[in-house]
Amino acid sequence: MSLLLEGKRAFVSGGTRGIGAAICEVFAREGADVAFNYHSRDDLAEAVKSKIEAHGRRALAFKVPVTDRYGLKHMAREIKEAWGAINILVNNAAVNKPDNFATTTDKSWDWVIDTNVNSLFAVTKPFYKQMIRERIGHILNITSVGAIRSLPTSVHYATSKSAMIGFTKCLSREAANFGVSVNAIAAGIFDTDLAHTLPERLLQMHDFWVSKGRLGKPEELAEFAAFMVSDRNSFMNGEIVTVDGGAVT
């Protein structure tokens, strides 16, 4: 059987840590060339590039924040000139801060919303334009169960992830006219740096709360993501698929 993503060209936002890094490696193993952006850690970027290249695939890394619209447009052009149009996009980059709403500062709110919501426009638009010209593509957004369940997480984070669901559903209808599918994964709690910004009481409850009895592993989500953006997943569009270890609702 051929690889899931053989011959594909993917871009993953926030590709140096946790779920993003796992997606980069699994996509490369499944046959895709993978580009990604990151915010600060050059050492982590080099490590991810090495893992991609170890699977015999091409890798590109860009130190461009997901809030830098000009930088992202330039990056998208550079990738296209090097490889051709991107046909898989994963919006993964996100931040969180353990805040109570009553004490959330303007700065904290703006940081989370700008990074998690405004980046959807900044990252997606240049690659989406490439996809609609080619009339092929898959966009996958990594949202959170915190967007659809009443969990003790920060209000700004839940709000930002809820916005991603609306973005997914609405864009999917427009994109379908051009042969592009748009779906999302509502991730539970995975063993990542971001997860450890959650309230300690939530992490303590987690093993009891989910039927799997543990945190998810980033590579577990990445394996499912690879199928979701593959051509074998040809009839799903505008869906939010929950991957959370079997949480009690």
Burial (0-12, 13-18, 19+ Cβ within 10 Å), 217: middle
Backbone φ and ψ of 190, nearest 5°: -110, 160
Cβ count within 10 A of residue 10: 28
157 as an active site residue: the answer is yes
- Among 38, 70, 128, 157, the active-site one is 157
Tell me the two tokens of residue 119.
């980046």
Number of H helices, E strands in the chain: 8, 7
Question: Could you give the C-alpha distances from 11 to 28, 119, 156, in angstroms and in order?
Answer: 11, 14, 26
Are the C-beta atoms of residues 161 and 146 closer than 8 Å to each other? yes
Burial (0-12, 13-18, 19+ Cβ within 10 Å), 164: buried
Nearest CA to 134 out of 175, 82, 184, 171 is that of: 175
Which positions are annotated as active-site residues? 157
